[in-house]
Chains A and B, each alone.
Chain A
Amino acid sequence: MLSISAFFVGLLFGFGLILSGMTDPAKVIGFLDLAGAWNPTLAFVMVGAIVVGSAGFALAKKRQRSVLGAPMQLPQTTQLDKRLLFGSLAFGVGWGIAGFCPGPAIVSAAAGQPKAWLFVAAMLAGMALYSFIESRGK
């Protein structure tokens, strides 16, 4: 049941990314280009997503288990640390260079964009590198 719901939620998420314009790097960079012809569209995406998301998380916080009976696994960390800040910094630089963040890149790769394949391959390599470094440290 949990895998079926995950599939349909992933599908819905993907539809949202395509409809919103997030899968178009030119639009993303247009949003990040404050000094150029600024395109505020993505601010509407964020607002739309956060309005509905907030309602969902408000309901979720009142529950011990999910509707399908799974344990609620919400992040417990509250500390602002170097990993969070430097990680976000690196992510933001990469996002600004290519105009892709992880979700839209995956969807664009599936849509058959060769440039997105290259980006996703490099992104997966970066994620694997993280797992490798972290597993060595333990």
Chain B
Amino acid sequence: MNPSDVMPISDYLSGLAGGLLIGSAAALLVLLNGRVAGISGIIGGLLQTGNKGDKIWRLMFVLGLLAAPFIYRFVFGLPTVTIDAGTIELIIAGLLVGIGTRYASGCTSGHGVCGISRGSMRSLAATLTFMTAGFVTVYLTRHVLGL
């Protein structure tokens, strides 16, 4: 058994510590590069035609994200994760997340972390909307449909 299963306090602490790292990354990206650390926007910008010079930093950021689990595994070992969703659910969810975050100009990082951090009402509205949608979806799938 994973120790965090019996000691939720360590879950909270790692959550808080992880949050501090995420916030530090967001702060560093805006202070060093003048950019918002929104993952959907950074990736979305790579999928659009146009300005090549604007793509390099995006690509390097994504490479950093991709390198993270390799280094983390080497130093600490990766935590075990559980993905309950099946094939069809993953495809539907992925499409909704992809198209939704682009129309909304942001996801958990761009709106939830960076937007709220810079006091944007638009990001607060987006965050309240996607969190409410998430709460309702899980209520429906878990407790009404019993998936």
Q: Is the CB of B130 within 8 A of A95?
A: yes
**If the complex has contacts A11-B67, A60-B30, are A48 and B102 also in contact, measured as CB distance less than 8 A?**
no
Residue of B32, B48, B84 with most partner-chain A CB within 10 A: B32
Total A-B contacts with CB atoms under 8 angstroms apart: 497
Contact surface of A with B, Cβ cutoff 8 Å: 2-27, 29, 32-36, 39-57, 59-61, 63, 65-68, 70-75, 77-80, 83-103, 105-108, 110-113, 115-116, 118-131, 135
For chain B, give the interface size range: 35 or more
Q: Is the CB of A45 within 8 A of B69?
A: no
Interface flags, B9-47, vs A, CB<8A=1, else 0: 001101111111111111111111111110110011001
Give the complex CA separation of A9 and B129 in angstroms.
Answer: 28
Q: Is the CB of B91 within 8 A of A122?
A: yes
Which single residue of chain B is at the shortest CB-CB distance from A59?
B31
Q: Is the CB of A18 within 8 A of B79?
A: yes
Q: Is the CB of B33 within 8 A of A25?
A: no
